[in-house]
Amino acid sequence: MNGTYNGWKNYETWNVVLWMSNDYGWYQVVKGHKKFPTPYLSFRRQLWESFQKVKTGDGVSLWDDSLDIQALDELINES
C-alpha cells in the first residue's frame, strides 16, 4: 500500500489496523468476519454488541469518518 501514514491512508486507519492485527481478542473477532459483504462494518458492530467497544485502546473511534473502510475490508479478507 502506498499511503500517508505507515503505508495507510491516515493515522486513524493505521491505528485500527494495529489493534485488529496485534490484539489477540480483536484478531479472533476479525477472523470471523472474512468474506462478509462488509467485513469491517460487521466487525465493529460485533465489537460494540459483544464488548461495548467503540474505540481502540489508543482512543481512535471505530466509527471515525476518516477511516479507509475499503482497505480495512481488504485486510480482514486477507487475514
The per-residue pLDDT string of the chain (79 residues; one tens digit each, 9 = 90 and over) reads: 455 899 999 999 999 999 999 999 999 999 999 989 999 999 999 999 999 999 999 999 999 999 999 999 999 999 8
Q: What pTM value is reported for the model?
A: 0.91
Assess if residue 1 is contained within a domain: no
- Decide if 67 is inside a domain: yes
Radius of gyration of the chain (CA): 11
Question: Which residue range is the domain that position 30 belongs to?
Answer: 11-78
- Could you tell me if residue 3 is inside a domain? no
Q: What is the total count of domains within the chain?
A: 1
Q: Hey, is 8 helix, strand or coil?
A: strand
